[in-house]
Amino acid sequence: MEIAYWIVAGLLAAFYLYAGGKKVAQSKERLAPMMGWVDTVPMGAVRAVGAVEILGAAGLVLPPLTGTAPALAIFAALGFLVLQILATALHLSRGETKETGLNVTLIALAGVAAWLATTW
């Protein structure tokens, strides 16, 4: 179970570090072609989502790695679960049904990570 957690958590952390880093560092013009929703959301909110993604990635990896408050990994995974449910709702409200495949995959991975974090 521990190895499975590290595989799932590593994949999620890598994805969210990349996605969050882009949201924090890039301009609205550079983000818009790949994330159409940034045109309808204030840039401060986009940057906040990016910061939450980066902190969540750290929360998946650092607490179990250091042995300090490993329960935080469960909360990080559950936070990603909520984040992706909200992202799916945003896409659906914009009529972007085709874009929800990645969200559904990330919801499943976050759920698995939360479950695995509770088992060991």
pLDDT tens per residue across all 120 residues of the chain: 999 999 999 999 999 999 999 999 999 999 999 998 999 899 999 999 999 999 999 999 999 999 999 999 999 999 999 999 999 999 999 999 998 999 999 999 999 999 999 987
DSSP 94: T
Using a 10 angstrom Cβ sphere, with 0-12 exposed, 13-18 middle and 19 or more buried, the burial of residue 5 is: buried
Query: How many Cβ atoms sit within 10 Å of the Cβ of residue 98?
Result: 7
Model's pTM, two decimal places? 0.92
